[in-house]
């Protein structure tokens, strides 16, 4: 392939080792990756792992461009299922936060009207609509859906086989599939009514999962760029000896450090819920999304022409950065939410609210 | 040392982009509340005015003494020398609260940040017993005499000489950018004691009494017209043996050992923070658009993230590591943010900067922050030099 030095701690399971386009269409391969326990691959953390440990693993998955819904499973789907007391299926999982989905109770004829509004004789649902751009839907054992029923927010699971799937992908060709649900019946046993706060928590978990992936891809950009500028020689000296290169490289390193730190800082607040979690995650996703442009720009600039080809793995990181910054809320979305409660008197207390 | 969780790795295992995440010790929660209450009292007294760059420009010895009465000057110094024996992270919390409030901390700033720790680490027992209790009482203010006309980033090229006399040293030369030398009591001066091939060797540090014969302080006015800095002329100043700080010839090692402390603290990202508070105060009187909120949010996220990095360095320092690369990284990010903050404030609420507007009004604070802004990325080591340190640090780590 290429003659440039690349990361010698080469990942056993990473997108590097596959013709990416072919790989992403093979659900069995993705499931294998997601379930792998090979010691030097990224393994799903055990259920009782701390949020900080899961975040670190998700970051590693981002660094290796793992072709599986790793962060989606470990940081979003599994914790939410456990939270509402639904069984956690084996294999890769995904999620969809879909407040616009049309959700009815399946047995309205026998309904009684309670304080929560109209409800059926049980919680069996009839669901119609499209779940858009669901990460890795084609490969997921189950997709966790958060939607709004007549009684209020609900969480249920669908299996991709129950839906019509329109394949799609992001800039890195990671699957982002539409799932069309046509009056799909969801048995009451798979439905849980949830508090509105859980909907917020789902958004925070999704945003933090994505931020951890961004932090990993940013670190990969640093690894690859430093390796390249120290190995590549022009005008008789390594690129890294040029002052102009040092200046840019330092900024790349700084942005990556900034994202990584913001992600780490959100682990403890996420476990405690509350306003501190909102601040920490909003700050982390805002920073991760906002830094993506500069990280990708500098990494490509310092790689020169080889970086814009598939002869070099840089694109695995930069195309993900460009997609992930938009997914689960871009920097505009989260910055607005971070800033909304700020006033002259609350600004500093909010910024120092996380321990 | 304060309890930190999780334990930060030692410097050798710390990748420049892998900072430890820091949970501030529980004790800091109450401390923070106490500092905020103190600041409320001082606001009522009219001393805390929410001005930018208050660690450079807010000179108020009375405030420094009242702060010292609370035990918040030299607070990390041991109690046997008059300090409060508190941890480095506790000091961090006090400092960041003071700077965010724009409190006038410049009188004791160098004593607290550099002179105190330096005398504790390198000083003789006699020097410790004399200086440290006075520093912790907010009654002994220091300047730093390091840079010279031809010796800015390239500090090892200092030309100020110290020649042996019968009972001490005679110092000759001119220090530049000596902040506060016209009002402070002492300066720590870096001078050449031996002419050697290796320009890093042969340097020593001295404690110079700023009222001693032969000391001449000449103002260097800033572009705003303010008098903060001076040329410190040492015209054959006699310094007794007892005022050599540390070992003869160890000056370079002693000076560079302190750089991580100087480069990574909250003063490297909070200098213009009071201007952001002022902006929000202004916006409180107007409807705020989504576009304005977004720009504020992006800035706030960056500030929040840089603070976490800075805390990571503080924790590593508290644990006894010397995270020089990480400190350089924080300084480049933080001081650039101080300038970006001004740009954001201008774009969110276009306001002509006006140095003659009512003191403390938004246009006046904007003018003040702006006139100080070129200094943010220069003082404490120019950012271009720091970026070289960062790149080298990462290459060596690989």
- A236 and A147, same structural domain? no
A142-180 burial, b if ≥16 CB within 10 A, otherwise e? bbbbbbbbbbebbbbbbebebbebeeebbebbbbbbbbe
Torsion of CA B363, B364, B366, B367, to 10 degrees: 120
Q: Say which CATH number the domain at A190 has.
A: 2.40.110.10
In a domain, B2, yes or no: no
Nearest residue of chain B to residue A248 (CA atoms): B387
3-state secondary structure of A178: strand
Q: Which helix (H) or strand (E) holds A265?
A: helix A243-265
In a domain, A281, yes or no: yes
CB A144 within 8 A of CB A77: yes
Q: Which of A293, A228, A199 is nearest to A255 (CA)?
A: A293
- Range from A202-206, A273-277, B53-57 carrying the lowest mean pLDDT: A273-277
Sign of the four-CA dihedral A49, A54, A55, A60:
positive
- Given this model, what pLDDT does residue A70 score? 87
3-state secondary structure of A186: strand
- Range from A54-63, A328-337, B234-243 carrying the lowest mean pLDDT: A54-63
Number of domains making up chain A: 2
* Helical residues (DSSP H) of chain B, grouped into ranges: 27-45, 54-57, 61-69, 88-100, 106-110, 116-122, 125-136, 251-256, 259-264, 273-283, 290-318, 324-348, 362-376, 383-397
Enter the tokens of residue B365: 């604070």
B395 touches chain A (CB under 8 A): yes
Best of A52, A216, A258 to disrupt the B interface (most B CBs within 10 Å) is A258
pLDDT at B243 over 60: yes
Number of domains making up chain B: 3
Measured CA to CA, the distance from residue A202 to residue A75 in angstroms comes to 10
In a domain, A51, yes or no: no
- In chain B, how many H helices and how many E strands? 14, 8
Across chain B, mean pLDDT equals 92
- Given this model, what pLDDT does residue A20 score? 44
A78 touches chain B (CB under 8 A): no
B87 touches chain A (CB under 8 A): no
Q: Say which CATH number the domain at A320 has.
A: 1.20.140.10
- A240 and A146, same structural domain? no
- Given this model, what pLDDT does residue A312 score? 87
pLDDT bucket at B197, cuts 50 / 70 / 90: confident
CB A62 within 8 A of CB A75: no
Q: List B275's β-bridge partners, or say none.
A: none
Q: Say which CATH number the domain at B178 has.
A: 2.40.110.10
A177 touches chain B (CB under 8 A): no
Q: For B298-328, what is each residue's pLDDT tens digit?
A: 999 999 999 999 999 999 888 888 888 999 9
CB B300 within 8 A of CB A339: yes
Nearest residue of chain A to residue B6 (CA atoms): A52
Total residue count of chain B as it appears in this document: 398
pLDDT at A40 over 70: no
Measured CA to CA, the distance from residue A75 to residue B51 in angstroms comes to 43
pLDDT at A52 over 70: yes
CB A177 within 8 A of CB A303: no
- Given this model, what pLDDT does residue A37 score? 38
- Given this model, what pLDDT does residue B4 score? 30
- Given this model, what pLDDT does residue A42 score? 55
- Given this model, what pLDDT does residue B289 score? 96
Domain end among B77, B112, B141: B141
What range defines the domain where residue A343 resides? 197-351
Q: For A78-100, what is each residue's pLDDT tens digit?
A: 999 999 999 999 888 999 999 99
Measured CA to CA, the distance from residue A132 to residue A129 in angstroms comes to 9
- A216 and A157, same structural domain? no
- Given this model, what pLDDT does residue B319 score? 86
What percent of chain A has pLDDT above 90? Answer: 71
- Given this model, what pLDDT does residue A1 score? 31
Query: Who contacts B241 (Cβ-Cβ below 8 Å, separation ≥6)?
Result: B167, B168, B169
Choose among B290, B312, B398: nearest Cβ to A261.
B312
Domain end among A147, A177, A194: A194
- B122 and B54, same structural domain? yes
B348 touches chain A (CB under 8 A): no
- A293 and A170, same structural domain? no
- A103 and A171, same structural domain? yes
Distance of CA B72 to the CA centre of its chain: 15
Taking the model in full, what pTM does it have?
A: 0.91
Query: Who contacts B200 (Cβ-Cβ below 8 Å, separation ≥6)?
Result: B156, B252
Across chain A, mean pLDDT equals 86
Choose among B17, B297, B386: nearest Cβ to A257.
B17
pLDDT bucket at B261, cuts 50 / 70 / 90: confident
In a domain, B6, yes or no: no
B270 touches chain A (CB under 8 A): no
Choose among A247, A249, A254: nearest Cβ to B333.
A254
Considering only residues B180 and B21, tell me which one the structure prediction assigns the higher pLDDT: B180
Work out whether strand A142-149 and strand A102-105 pair parallel, antiparallel, or are unpaired.
unpaired
Domain end among B224, B250, B276: B250
CB A189 within 8 A of CB A232: no
Measured CA to CA, the distance from residue B18 to residue A257 in angstroms comes to 7
Q: Do B391 and A249 lie within an 8 Å CB cutoff?
A: yes
Enter the tokens of residue A187: 């048995």
- A347 and A201, same structural domain? yes
In a domain, A46, yes or no: no
Work out whether strand B161-165 and strand A237-238 pair parallel, antiparallel, or are unpaired.
unpaired
A266 touches chain B (CB under 8 A): no
- Given this model, what pLDDT does residue A31 score? 52
pLDDT at A19 over 50: no
pLDDT at A3 over 60: no
- B304 and B200, same structural domain? no
pLDDT at B8 over 70: no
- Given this model, what pLDDT does residue A73 score? 92
Q: For B353-384, what is each residue's pLDDT tens digit?
A: 999 999 999 999 999 999 999 999 999 889 99
CB atoms within 10 A of CB A121: 14
- B274 and B244, same structural domain? no
What range defines the domain where residue B90 resides? 11-141
In a domain, A42, yes or no: no
In a domain, A86, yes or no: no
pLDDT at B397 over 80: no
pLDDT at A13 over 80: no
- Given this model, what pLDDT does residue B333 score? 98
- Given this model, what pLDDT does residue A36 score? 47
- Give the count of alpha carbons within 13 A of A238, CB side only: 13
Q: For A129-169, what is each residue's pLDDT tens digit?
A: 999 999 999 989 999 999 999 989 999 999 999 999 999 99
Measured CA to CA, the distance from residue A329 to residue A207 in angstroms comes to 7
In a domain, A188, yes or no: yes
- Given this model, what pLDDT does residue B16 score? 65
pLDDT bucket at A29, cuts 50 / 70 / 90: low
pLDDT at A16 over 50: no
Domain end among A151, A168, A194: A194
Q: Do A258 and B21 lie within an 8 Å CB cutoff?
A: no
Enter the tokens of residue A158: 């669908």
- Given this model, what pLDDT does residue B15 score? 67
Total residue count of chain A as it appears in this document: 355
Measured CA to CA, the distance from residue B173 to residue B191 in angstroms comes to 9
């Amino acid at each position: 392939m290429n003659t440039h030095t690349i990361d010698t701690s080469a990942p056993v399971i990473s997108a590097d080792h596959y013709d990416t386009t072919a790989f992403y269409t093979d659900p069995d391969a993705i499931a294998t990756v997601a379930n792998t326990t090979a010691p030097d691959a990224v393994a799903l953390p055990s259920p009782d792992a701390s949020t900080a440990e899961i975040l670190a693993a998700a970051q590693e998955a981002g660094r290796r461009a793992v072709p599986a819904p790793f962060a989606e499973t470990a940081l979003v789907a599994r914790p939410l299922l456990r939270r509402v007391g639904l069984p956690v299926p084996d294999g890769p999982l995904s999620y969809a936060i879909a407040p616009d989905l049309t959700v009815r109770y399946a047995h309205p004829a026998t309904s009684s009207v309670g304080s929560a509004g109209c409800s059926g004789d049980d919680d069996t649902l009839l669901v119609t609509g499209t779940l858009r751009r669901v990460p890795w839907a084609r490969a997921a054992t189950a997709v966790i859906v958060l939607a709004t029923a007549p009684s209020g927010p609900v969480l249920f699971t669908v299996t991709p086989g129950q839906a019509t799937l329109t394949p799609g992908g992001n800039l890195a060709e990671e699957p982002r599939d539409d799932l069309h649900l046509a009056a799909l019946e969801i048995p009451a046993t798979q439905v849980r009514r949830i508090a509105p706060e859980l909907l917020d928590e789902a958004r925070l978990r999704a945003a933090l999962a994505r931020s951890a992936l961004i932090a990993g891809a940013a670190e990969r950009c640093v690894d690859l760029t430093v390796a390249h500028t120290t190995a590549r020689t022009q005008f008789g000296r390594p690129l890294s000896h040029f002052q102009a290169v040092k200046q840019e490289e330092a900024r790349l390193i700084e942005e990556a450090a900034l994202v990584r730190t913001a992600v780490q800082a959100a682990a403890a607040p996420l476990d405690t819920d509350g306003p501190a979690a909102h601040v920490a995650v909003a700050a982390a996703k805002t920073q991760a999304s906002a830094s993506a442009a500069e990280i990708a720009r500098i990494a490509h600039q310092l790689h020169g022409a080889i970086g814009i080809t598939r002869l070099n793995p840089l694109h695995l990181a930069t195309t993900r950065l460009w997609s992930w910054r938009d997914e689960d809320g871009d920097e505009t979305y989260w910055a607005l939410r971070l800033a909304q409660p700020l006033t002259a008197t609350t600004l500093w207390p909010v910024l120092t609210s996380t321990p | 040392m304060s309890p930190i969780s999780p334990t930060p790795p030692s410097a050798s295992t710390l990748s420049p982009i892998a900072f430890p995440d820091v949970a501030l010790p529980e004790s800091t929660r109450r401390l923070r509340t106490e500092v905020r209450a103190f600041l409320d009292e001082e606001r009522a007294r009219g001393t805390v005015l929410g001005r930018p760059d208050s660690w450079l420009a807010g000179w108020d010895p009375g405030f420094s003494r009242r702060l010292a009465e609370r035990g918040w000057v030299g607070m990390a110094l041991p109690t046997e020398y008059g300090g409060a024996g508190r941890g480095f992270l506790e000091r961090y919390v006090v400092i960041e609260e003071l700077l965010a409030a724009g409190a006038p901390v410049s009188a004791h700033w160098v004593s607290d940040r550099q002179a105190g720790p330096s005398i504790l680490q390198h000083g003789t027992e006699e020097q410790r017993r004399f200086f440290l209790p006075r520093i912790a009482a907010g009654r002994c203010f220091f300047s730093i005499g390091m840079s010279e006309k031809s010796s800015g980033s390239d500090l090892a090229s200092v030309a100020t000489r110290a020649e042996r006399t019968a009972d001490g040293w005679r110092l000759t030369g001119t220090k530049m950018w000596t902040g506060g030398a016209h009002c402070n009591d002492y300066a720590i001066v870096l001078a050449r004691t031996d002419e050697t091939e290796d320009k890093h060797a042969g340097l020593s540090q001295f404690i110079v009494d700023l009222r001693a014969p032969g000391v001449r302080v000449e103002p260097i006015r800033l572009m705003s017209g303010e008098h903060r800095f001076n040329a410190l002329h040492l015209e054959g100043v006699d310094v007794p043996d007892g005022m050599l700080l540390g070992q003869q010839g160890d000056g370079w090692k002693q000076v560079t050992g302190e750089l991580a402390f100087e480069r990574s603290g909250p003063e490297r990202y909070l200098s213009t923070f009071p201007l952001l508070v002022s902006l929000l105060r202004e916006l409180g009187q107007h409807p705020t658009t989504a576009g304005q909120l977004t720009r504020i949010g992006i800035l706030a996220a960056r500030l929040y993230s840089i603070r976490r990095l800075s805390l990571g360095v503080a924790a590593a320092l508290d644990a006894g590591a010397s995270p020089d690369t990480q400190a350089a990284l924080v300084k480049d990010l933080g001081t650039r943010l101080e300038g970006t903050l001004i740009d954001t404030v201008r774009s969110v609420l276009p306001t002509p900067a006006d140095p003659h507007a009512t003191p403390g009004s938004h246009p006046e604070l904007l003018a003040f922050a702006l006139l100080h802004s070129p200094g943010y990325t220069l003082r404490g080591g120019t950012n271009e030099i720091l970026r070289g340190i960062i790149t080298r640090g990462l290459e060596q780590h690989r």
